[in-house]
Chain A
């Protein structure tokens, strides 16, 4: 049976964007409601897709196949594997909350929503593409609108010139929104170039007949090719996943981006990177993966610790959250590097858990920033007295961030660290757990600095709690965070099905 559900999920935001484009400029309400409609279709569709995925049967379901360039074997081939449902759901939740959080955008709001929706269609497309070229196409659709979204709607600040590379400050206004947008785009495009090269090698060596991922996965590439191609994919996609030392676009990019863009970027786009490394790099190149996996795991451990330590001494709220993303994406890569079912389950679950958590964080940071007009936590204090709801949700996000049982963050961190331990990677585990400990320090310090203590000083007279649509965003994200924390099987069951299929390529005969 085919209900074209996947096409609908992927196309809905893009169609909404198309409608928004033709709305008159002044139709503020219409623009927002059409955007929200597009996002709701994707959200509801992804819930439907997740719930109706037959875990007992497994494999690819809801396959849709439309030839695009038959002579080269390019097909628009959409299908949902075990990982698809949870990741679609994550994207649906984030864009729905993101549109709600963007309700108050006033500058060029039409273009803003169009770009936001197009970007989301790209993200959704990546998660269900079964054709490598289309996968890459969707990936680029997801990455490129970021340049405009940050460059036009972002916020700027100045970073003073210091250190041995000050010369560069002559050419760029470091910290400026256009600088951040350009750096992000250039770094990701260098990554894309590497991916593109890798894709062509894979395509040509597999007989140049098809880009179908299943076809490519069935090809046995020779060992040398795999060892050369794997790092291209790892670093190419890894740049977007914030892999050290190619993460530096992330703090500046996230700090400069407007609220919903930070939510989408940290919440969903970084996952595309990790997803790409696992789905393309690891699954297609088993020998290359086994060769490089010690490096991948070690770098992931560095990510966790380094990100957490960097976050601890940041004074800008958005930088704290951005560095925490660098740290938490390390957990995803660490889980992937264990090459065990539990590790991969944990990695994919962490994508969802971190996505929702960081989406919630950025939504809250946006609310605080809009009212306090500053992101310097040293100036804040006692905000809980005037914005109790925001304080509650911020604390919830913090608790998930530090891995408190009962929140989604606990499930993934626990599973990943356990997998790392069981697969004999003692040092990775220690680094990971230490990172989680440091996370507790910096998130709790930030919460205390912003919300607790005596009431806010007179400089902050515009503070107020969340408003209507903002409540909607906070509630949907907060509820998901707790729901997944107490009922992780909702996602872990399908994820596990996907993991076992994919991991069987790397570890023959793998069982739970």
Chain B
């Protein structure tokens, strides 16, 4: 539901990191690593393409874009390739790496996390489909989008390289597996077919919903968006810092200043006070000292007798 194209990509990164960690959880270091690698290709591509679009319309909002593919064919093609790879459409790099993750998760962790990951794949396709449809197809939403133009080759060059890697990265699967000393064979089964179908389904749904109305807001997503807008997670962190950590900290600082150090000051103070209280004993008058001496002698004598 984010409308900032970069925020969409950023949240998507959080989601894909979950994929990688899920792979690690399933014991497939190689799967996690390979997804990390392909993700690096296509997410970098997506961000660069997004940057190119932002550069053209001077806005991060997808609502300010629209129809960019026509005006900026290179950028549009790059973004679409990135989106397809991210969604895991067969043939693109993301398909192979996601497949490795899904396979490991299905075998090692069971069906519940596996279904969750498949569901995520569907959602991924859906939200990327939305960005593609809203930002790059349809009618331009304003002056700037209508007059957008392709950036120079210095910006197009990296797009081409990354697009090639996103497109063909799947070919590295077998060498990558060898590097990790794990066997790898292309396989067909329920998993990959289902994943591919879900990804295509996600795109189709996005096209149906947003192709008709670019500002459509399905009720389910609206609820989620409310949570996101409330910044509940951020607020939780802020609460933890300001209300818990800082309060504990200032409490301790006060304790250190006024109790721990206060006690030490008090020891010093009492020493001085003790001296002050003992001072009257030193009267400076000879008779007092003689009296003390006599008392001492008598006392000692009494003690000696008692012995």
User: Which residues of A does B touch, CB under 8 Å?
Assistant: 159, 162-172, 174, 183, 186-187, 245, 248, 251-252, 306, 309-310, 312-314, 438, 441
Contacts and interface: CB of A to CB of B under 8 A. Distances in A.
B268 A164 contact: no
Contacts, number: 71
A174 B249 contact: no
Interface of A is mostly: helix
Given A165-B265, A172-B269, A187-B264, A313 B249 contact: yes
A168 B266 contact: yes
Contacts of A312: 245-246, 249, 253
B264 A310 contact: no
Contacts of A172: 265, 268-269
A325 to B, nearest CB: 14
Nearest to A171: B269
A438 B264 CA distance: 27
A171 B272 contact: yes
11 contacts: A162-B258, A163-B257, A163-B262, A164-B259, A165-B266, A165-B269, A166-B262, A169-B265, A183-B268, A245-B260, A312-B249
Contact of A313 (B253, B263, B272, B273): B253
Contact of B250 (A169, A306, A313, A441): A313
A306 B272 CA distance: 30
Contacts of B257: 159, 163
A168 B252 contact: no
Interface in B189-239: none
Given A309-B249, A313-B250, A165 B268 contact: no
Nearest to B252: A309
B261 interface: yes
Given A165-B265, A248-B264, 16 more contacts: A162-B254, A163-B254, A164-B258, A165-B262, A165-B269, A166-B262, A167-B266, A168-B262, A169-B265, A171-B273, A187-B264, A306-B252, A309-B249, A313-B249, A314-B253, A441-B241
Contact of A441 (B245, B252, B264, B268): B245
Interface of B is mostly: helix
Contacts of B273: 171
Contact of A167 (B250, B258, B260, B269): B269
B262 A310 contact: no
B248 interface: yes
Contacts of B261: 248, 252
Contacts of B266: 165, 167-168
A165 B264 CA distance: 9
A346 B266 CA distance: 37
Contacts of B254: 162-163
Contact of B249 (A166, A245, A310): A310
Contact of A165 (B245, B246, B263): B263
A313 to B, nearest CB: 4
A310 B260 CA distance: 12
Contacts of A252: 261
B256 interface: yes
Contacts of A169: 265
Contacts of A171: 268-269, 272-273
A164 B262 contact: yes
A310 B258 contact: no
A168 B258 contact: no
B256 A310 contact: yes
A162 B258 CA distance: 7
Contacts of A183: 264-265, 268
A314 B254 CA distance: 10
Contacts of B268: 168, 171-172, 183, 186
Nearest to A248: B261
A509 B51 CA distance: 63
Contacts of A309: 248-249, 252-253
A459 B252 CA distance: 32
A244 to B, nearest CB: 8
A186 B265 CA distance: 11
A174 B265 contact: yes
A306 B257 CA distance: 13
A252 B273 CA distance: 23
B47 to A, nearest CB: 25
Contacts of B264: 183, 187, 248
Contacts of B248: 309
A313 B272 CA distance: 32
A168 B267 CA distance: 9
